[in-house]
Structure 1
Amino acid sequence: MEASPAEASNIKPSKELQLAPKDNRNTMSHLTGIPEQLKVGASRESVTSWEQEYDSCILPLLEEQQPSYILYRLDTMNVQGFQWLFIAWSPDLSPVRQKMLYAATRTTLKREFGGSHIRDEIFGTVREDVSFSGYKKHLVSQKDPAPLTAAEEELRQIKMNEGRTENSIVTRQPTLQGLPFPIQDDAIEALDKLRNKELSYVQLKIDFNQETIKLADTTHTEIGDLPKRVPKDSARYHFFLYKHSHEGDYLESIVFIYSMPGYTCSIRERMLYSSCKSPLIDMLDKQIALEITKKIEIDDGNELTADFLYGEIHPKQHAHRQIFAKPKGPAGKRGIRRLIRGPTEPEKTD
């Protein structure tokens, strides 16, 4: 699939793919795609049992640098019809953005295909992970848990993240590890321009329906304009290029501002923005090496004055408490002389 993370939440399976569970002839569907749609890149009709055909169907489709999804029909059935094996192929050599795209599209694909049709799923980064022998090892590990391989551990983490986004936010505790919502591609491009000093301000917001982080504003912003960029009734993430002088040096510092306007926002909005904040910053650090000088949390845009930002980035050092010398006694009066005696020293007598 040649798509970008920006389109991840909007990518939909083609009609051909949506009809796949109803077609009992095909034993395998290999998903490739175009930027705005998942499509079936290859399919094959069943001839013998699924075990005998597994490697001959699956392995030729695996590309060393291209992620893909493979839906493989099993011989077992439930009330919905034949059950399928969902295979997520994400090779180590594939580009990071491609991996992000496929990870972000995964939930949408399974929902559109029909989760009740999927009996099991495996994730692989090397061919051995998704081969027939690899799948049998997966089945054994499900019955008798053993130390997870790197691919199995990654799949476990993916499932955990999917569970956090699909279930009720209120009844979960996502703030412990955060929610890595995908960030849309135009937002990444805008932040890359900010990093290169081509933009002065980028604002991001969460799309709650699509569960993505999207671009909200890139208006040119000076320090005096910053308070006006902060909404009074909804949360936002702001990235501001703060241009200033410090001790004779001209500096351009990127400041991350998380604005949450008190309790005018819903509990769901507060929890999602709080949970997505750290994964977002980590993602930007790894993907575009965005160097953030200071992270600030506010509840009112009026806090963002020039003095406030300067003080946050260059806090004043606490003055050391002055140590006063012990004053000398009155001149000519030395006071009573005292003798200090050791514990074993005999007392002197006159």
Structure 2
Amino acid sequence: MSHQTGIKANEELLSFFSSCRNGTVRALSITIEDEALQLGEWKPARGSWEDDYDELVLPLLKEKQPCFILYRLDSEAHGGYEWLLLSWSPDDSPIREKMLYASTKATLRKEFGATQIKDEVFGTVQEDINLDGYRHHRKSASAPVPLTEREEEMKEIKKNEVGVDIGVDTKHQTMAGIAFPILPDALDAIKKFTEGRLQYVQLKIDTSAEEIQLDNTATTLLVAELPKRVPDSAARYHLYRFDHNYEGDFYHSVLFIYSMPGYACPIRERMLYSSSVNPMTDLLENGLDLVIAKKLQIGEGSELTEEYLLDEIHPKQNLHRPKFAKPKGPANRGAKRLTKAPKEGSGSADS
């Protein structure tokens, strides 16, 4: 885990992030100055993202000076455009600058909106960052990782074992839980959700067939309508994109909600849903590249208020800690006894 610097975007940059949503901005550079992320240069869209790429990105790269570049693609997901995050860190730039930018990238992702960032590229020379470099990056990312001879042998052994391969069409049991196969219509709905075409998806486990099925979906769903979707006597998994404004910024926060109405469900159902949570969220995040802002477990739908969701996604920080109050002494202990030192020269009464 990288160490965080505490550096955050200034007000101008946060305001500019909001204006980026309309699609007019193609590229912008971000620098760290005066202990804050600040807006550098920005360029409007002219043609397609591929046509604009080298013409707009390369002039933003400065010698010996790291920076971040956000570059807008033409594709959309999660209710907005997708972006590339380019981290420029020249070899001849000061080490302190390199470390500062590296440890601030996570903050930039969060403040811009991590769900909108499709990919990240790191470069020390222009050939890493230009369009050919990005294409090479994508090709490398999609290629399988080379295996050692021993790993190749193990792979062949596993192919011949029953129930070892892991995927959305297989069922397996591990220490992390139980993964059930997901039916095609449910998987299709999840993919539409990741693309921003659905705002809500509800999934259920068929305990007799031991498979995950699609229950219902919604293209748009207000927060006030969300509690009505939660069954009173059956467990469910819910995917919900919580579109909301917070402190001047607009967020598309993806929520994974596991609803379990306690003992209203049979024991077998409770066990299967509980054991399948981790494999299910792992598939969503690592298999389908869905960025989940928060995972929630609730007992009933009435818990899903807008105030509750905001508190979960943007927890309030107590900046004014109360000072430790010295406890009072025991009651009725009487007045304090005062002792004074004897005056100089005073003698004993027996002298």
| Same fold by TM-score greater than 0.5 | no
Which structure has the bigger radius of gyration?
A: 1
TM-score after normalising by structure 1: 0.45
TM-score after normalising by structure 2: 0.45
